[in-house]
Structure 1
Amino acid sequence: MMWVNKQFGKTARIVLTIVLAIYSIIWLTTLFTPKPTQTTQPEPTTQSQAQPSANVSATAAPTPEPTPAVPTEYKSALKKAKSYSDTMYMSKQGLYDQLTSEYGEKFSVEAAQYAVDNLNADYNYNALQKAKSYQETMAMSPEAIRDQLTSEYGEKFTQEEADYAIANLPQ
């Protein structure tokens, strides 16, 4: 009502609006931020059980090897690689370079390698999407597109991925 009736000065209305906006942003952020999952393992119980007979051998169930914990940096690199692949249709080498670039994401080479090795991306599809973009927006010839796709200064797709893209471009 203070905005309608103008009981308060312009400065008070602006300050209150900013405070309410900040409060709303904080509330929305906490509302939609995923909560960390609690992964506690139950403590082993030590109960003594009588063996029914001496003929029964005690066989312990094989315990599965614990999966090594993936470092957070590696998970972040994989998530960023997926984002680049899904939105910018980057090549495997392009993703690696972007993830490790001092002007890009600045991930360690190990994290970037983990990301590109574990990313389930269809690089033929990515090359085709890039080729379509070059064809539609820049009116490039198929050979110019192929050169751009495979250039070390361009998209850095493999020759096979570029060949697939050119072969599947709309005519």
Structure 2
Amino acid sequence: MSSHSQSPIRPQSDPQPAGKEGKTVKKPIWKRWWFWLVVVIVVVAFAASANGGNGSSPSAQQSSQSSTSQSQQSDGSKDTAGQSGDTSKQEESKVPAEYRSALKQADTYANVMHMSKQGVYDQLVSEYGGKFSAEAAQYAIDNVKADWNANALAKAKSYQDNMAMSPEAIRDQLVSEHGEKFTADEAAYAIEHLND
């Protein structure tokens, strides 16, 4: 007879607590992780559809509203201004979104960065720039409001002040195919008014 001591056998406990009727107790649905994941996905989808449904950004809507109100104030007749405002809104809604985006970028390039007309076009269609279609870029160039002579002058002054370049070197840089791409007339205007 061996002297092995046997450990007492313990009854196995139930893996899950039982309720009054012997059913397993489950967590409420709002305490489960997947429930909250579903809630977040639904909320995000709803918010995206609510924001994307109108097709234009809030800033674009504000700018069109402010331009309409300005035209109403500048005209003596509110009826005429209201009709022209409605017409411009209808015309704007017919313009594809890509064209409107290209025009907005063109405005930044022309009026903030003082680029030339050709420089703006090239930046819009560049694979490293806007990547717009040639048609959208041409629409933007045709409709952007910019003073190309003033842009050439701003660039010329920048070259003179920051790089101490001579007027002839500035002219060459302004018209260069690898430089600013201004026309010869725009470069001549810039050099003529360089020291004004």
TM bracket, shorter-chain basis = 0.5 to 0.7
Instruction: Kindly indicate whether residue 52 of structure 2 is the aligned counterpart of residue 34 of structure 1.
Output: no
2:74 matched residue in structure 1: none
CA-atom RMSD in angstroms = 2.2
Structure having the higher Rg = 2
Instruction: Kindly indicate whether residue 121 of structure 2 is the aligned counterpart of residue 102 of structure 1.
Output: no
* Structure 2 segments unaligned to the other structure (5+ residues): 1-50, 52-56, 62-86
Q: Which moved more, 1:123-132 or 1:83-92?
A: 83-92
Distance in 1 (CA, whole Å) between partners of 2:59 and 2:140 is 24
Distance in 2 (CA, whole Å) between partners of 1:81 and 1:130 is 17
Query: What TM-score do you get using the length of structure 2 for normalisation?
Result: 0.54
* Structure 1 segments unaligned to the other structure (5+ residues): 1-29, 38-63
1:81 matched residue in structure 2: 106
Query: What TM-score do you get using the length of structure 1 for normalisation?
Result: 0.62
Shift of 1:35: 7.5
Distance in 1 (CA, whole Å) between partners of 2:105 and 2:187 is 23
1:130 matched residue in structure 2: 155
1:160 matched residue in structure 2: 185
Distance in 2 (CA, whole Å) between partners of 1:101 and 1:107 is 8
Q: Equivalent residues in 2 for 1:108-119 (5 A)?
A: 108-119=133-144
2:30 matched residue in structure 1: none
Deviations 1:78-128 (Å, cap 9, x if unpaired)?
000001111110000000000000011100000000001101100000000
Match of residue 148, structure 1, among 159, 162, 173: 173
Q: For 1:117, what is the secondary structure of its paired residue? A: helix
Distance in 2 (CA, whole Å) between partners of 1:156 and 1:82 is 17
Q: For 2:129, what is the secondary structure of its paired residue? A: coil
Deviations 1:131-169 (Å, cap 9, x if unpaired)?
000000000000000000000000000000000000000
Distance in 2 (CA, whole Å) between partners of 1:36 and 1:99 is 20
2:39 matched residue in structure 1: none
Higher relative contact order (Cα pairs below 8 Å, separated by 6+ residues): 1
Distance in 2 (CA, whole Å) between partners of 1:138 and 1:120 is 29
Q: For 2:106, what is the secondary structure of its paired residue? A: helix
After superposition, the Cα gap between the structure-2 partners of 1:144 and 1:164, relative to the gap in structure 1 and judged at 3 Å, is same
Deviations 1:34-64 (Å, cap 9, x if unpaired)?
1786xxxxxxxxxxxxxxxxxxxxxxxxxx9
